[in-house]
Amino acid sequence: MTQHAEIVLQEMTFTRTDFAAMRAYAQKIPIQTIASSYYSEDSPQLDLGLERFLIEMRNALVERAIQHNPHFAEILKGARQGGSLTVKALDILIKAADAPKATPQLTDAISKWFRPKTVVALRSEGLLTLSDLINMIYRRGGGWWRSIPRIGKMRADVVTKWINTHSETLGNVVVVESSTTNLIQLTLDPNRPSELVPIDRLGLPSEYSGTFGINRSPSFCYIQANNDKDALLAYLTRFADQPHTFRAYRKELERFLLWSVMVQRKPMSSLLVDDCEDYKVFLRAPLPSFTGMKVPRSSSRWKPFTEEQMSAKSQKHAILVIRACFKYLVDVRYLAGNPWSVVKDPSVTQEVNPIRIERALTDDLWERVVEYLQENANESTKVQERIALAALLLMGDSGLRRQEVANSQRHKLKLYNHEHMIYTLEVHGKGNKNRLVPVSVRTVDAIKAHWKDRNIDFDTHREETPLLSPITIPRHKAALKKHEERRIEGYSGDSLYPVIMRTWKKIQNIDGLAETFSIDDIDKLATSSPHAYRHTFGTLAVEAGMPLDVAQAILGHASSATTGIYVRTKEKRMVGEAAKFFGKKNDAKI
């Protein structure tokens, strides 16, 4: 179906005769009398019906008046809802028509510039202002429109073109569609091993594409998706600005799509409840052809699953992701029904402490680790060690996640209190939420040392720049491409991990380590991961008496129950009382 691309509110061009006709219409003069009094038989205003023309004219004038003065909204409420026009309201509308043409501003509501149906579609994604819309286009790229009901490519092109015509106030948006070339067609011959590829390079045989899936909805589809792959990509576009969620969901959905075609021999949009139950069984033990070593997605050896067996918790997560996707596809009328709605989740044993807080370091051990790392990072050649120290302090002293450390920016770090030298850092964290965290002086000192290695003055440079950035660029294609424009690029969460772990492993091999740490300390540190230092902050902060609501805000937990796991009082009391009990029994035996 061809899209209706008239989504931007048009400029008004009304004549003096039109306003005279509008005044007569407001006085409830019969429409035939108005037509014969003000217009000739060939007047364009009569082509679609004069009353319809006058109603549309009234609505356009109401919107123009409210654009120029929001206080008119209440006065024009009756006219806006199709009621009668008062003399006062009519005067406002006539004056509004003579008002100068407004210029779009980033703070303008989208309803000021787009037609109602388009506004409803954009609002469904939480977009209220032009700034919200433009920011989403930047974040999601060329396919920003895919997951938004009733916004197809044609309408998306109209939106971006309109934004660019007002670049003086809105800026330019440049969107690049992802390439669909170099698609690898799946081979379905069981006697010949198929080359499984990720969804972005996947070419499906026509009979398995889902174009004619038996579960396809007969109703008008709200997204532009002609097949199952397009539908999944439309859903994934919703998470383009949440990289962790996007990667996790993409992994589960491409696994499911490949299984549907390769194992069940059905399009995804033809699967029934029984098929869904079969996939639950498949997750427990994927076929050998579906498993392999963890390699880059661009590798010819890529496989959907690793060789390690999926835990029950991971299996349940996979089902939840697929079920949510199918619900979305039903809501946008790509699918007629959701077979996953009646499929039970895999059984998962509830852990006592789902967060591995036992990995947290004690206060004494954490302080000795920091002191040891500070001394080790003092040497001029220890560039990587200074990066690792700054990253660990952001985790252990401020409770940041590894990805949050990688995303941290200089202009978000500010000196909050000069007397006590307390810094604060605004962090963009999990759930796409911003929060403010305290930063210690020693953390800032470590960051400054790293910035000295980068030849940037930390105190004077307060622009949008990553707090941590690679000093040396790896000589592989992806890294070189990322840094080829010579702008300062930060770490990704994944690339920061090996920097921390390599540095710590090098330190563990230094002579004299045993002088600072005991055998138990070394064993604990050898099994720790970067996330353990976030747990260290949570544990030490709560044990020091920090109120739970404050610790929750710093850590960015959605629920206070999650933060409450760091309260070890109940556990310590249980162990203490048990020790007394066992001690009495031992005394009795003696």
pLDDT at 259 over 60: yes
Task: Check residue 509 and give its pLDDT.
Answer: 66
* In a domain? residue 373: yes
3-class SS string, 390-445: HHHHHHHCCCCCHHHHHHCEHHHEEEEECCCCEEEEEEEEHHHEEEEEEECHHHHH
DSSP H or E segment with residue 333:
none
- Range of weakest confidence among 220-224, 371-375, 381-385, 523-527: 523-527
* Average pLDDT value for residue range 377-398: 90
- Do residues 241 and 364 both lie within one domain? no
* In a domain? residue 368: yes
pLDDT at 61 over 50: yes
- Given 71, 97, 123, the domain boundary residue is 97
Q: pLDDT band at residue 187, thresholds of 50, 70 and 90?
A: low
* In a domain? residue 10: no
* In a domain? residue 578: no
Task: Check residue 100 and give its pLDDT.
Answer: 56
CA–CA distances in Å: residue 405 to residues 505, 532, 553: 20, 14, 17
- Given 342, 372, 393, the domain boundary residue is 342
- Do residues 376 and 500 both lie within one domain? yes
Q: Output DSSP code: residue 212.
A: T
Instruction: Determine how β-strand 413-417 pairs with β-strand 305-306.
Output: unpaired
Q: pLDDT band at residue 301, thresholds of 50, 70 and 90?
A: confident
**DSSP string covering 148-183:** STT--HHHHHHHHHHHHHTHHHH------PPP--SP
Nearest residue to 239 (alpha-carbon basis) of 409, 69, 125, 128 = 125
For residue 116, give its domain range: 110-170
- Do residues 447 and 389 both lie within one domain? yes
pLDDT at 86 over 70: no
- Most distant CA pair in the chain: distance in Å? 118
Q: In 3-state terms, what secondary structure has residue 483? A: coil
Q: In 3-state terms, what secondary structure has residue 556? A: coil
* In a domain? residue 349: no
Task: Check residue 573 and give its pLDDT.
Answer: 62
pLDDT of 217-228, one tens digit each?
Answer: 999 999 889 999
The total number of structural domains that make up the chain: 4
CA 513 remoteness from chain centre:
42
pLDDT at 472 over 80: no
Q: In 3-state terms, what secondary structure has residue 101? A: coil
pLDDT of 142-172, one tens digit each?
Answer: 778 877 877 888 888 888 888 888 888 887 7
CATH of the domain at 547: 1.10.443.10
- Do residues 468 and 565 both lie within one domain? yes
Residue 69 burial (CB count, 10 A)? 14
- Do residues 133 and 86 both lie within one domain? no
76 and 89 Cβ atoms separated by less than 8 Å: yes
- Averaged pLDDT score across all residues of the chain: 81
3-class SS string, 496-539: HHHHHHHHHHHHHCCCCHHHCCCHHHHHHHHCCCHHHHHHHHHH
- Do residues 537 and 513 both lie within one domain? yes
Residues in Cβ contact with 209 at an 8 Å cutoff, skipping those fewer than 6 apart: 227, 228, 229, 267
Nearest residue to 254 (alpha-carbon basis) of 241, 235, 273 = 235
pTM of the model: 0.59
Positive or negative torsion for Cα 268, 273, 278, 281:
positive
Task: Check residue 339 and give its pLDDT.
Answer: 97
Task: Check residue 323 and give its pLDDT.
Answer: 96
- Range of weakest confidence among 96-110, 254-268, 281-295, 446-460: 96-110
Could you give the CA distance from residue 144 to residue 504 in angstroms, rounded to a whole number? 41
Torsion of CA 312, 315, 317, 321, to 10 degrees: -170
pLDDT of 199-258, one tens digit each?
Answer: 988 888 889 999 999 999 999 999 889 999 999 999 998 888 778 889 999 999 999 999
HSE at residue 364, side-chain half, CA atoms within 13 A, is: 4
Tokens of 468: 């941590």
First to last CA, the chain: 90
Q: Output DSSP code: residue 99.
A: S
- Do residues 424 and 552 both lie within one domain? yes
- Do residues 324 and 429 both lie within one domain? no
Q: pLDDT band at residue 67, thresholds of 50, 70 and 90?
A: low
Task: Check residue 497 and give its pLDDT.
Answer: 84
pLDDT at 179 over 50: no
- Given 342, 367, 386, the domain boundary residue is 342
pLDDT at 177 over 60: no
- Do residues 137 and 188 both lie within one domain? no
> What is the length of the chain?
590
Q: pLDDT band at residue 178, thresholds of 50, 70 and 90?
A: very low
* In a domain? residue 337: yes
- Do residues 196 and 161 both lie within one domain? no
Task: Check residue 393 and give its pLDDT.
Answer: 94
- Do residues 215 and 154 both lie within one domain? no
* In a domain? residue 235: yes
pLDDT of 388-414, one tens digit each?
Answer: 999 999 999 999 999 899 999 999 999
- Do residues 385 and 500 both lie within one domain? yes
pLDDT of 320-357, one tens digit each?
Answer: 999 999 999 999 999 999 999 999 988 765 554 555 56
Instruction: Determine how β-strand 202-203 pairs with β-strand 184-185.
Output: parallel
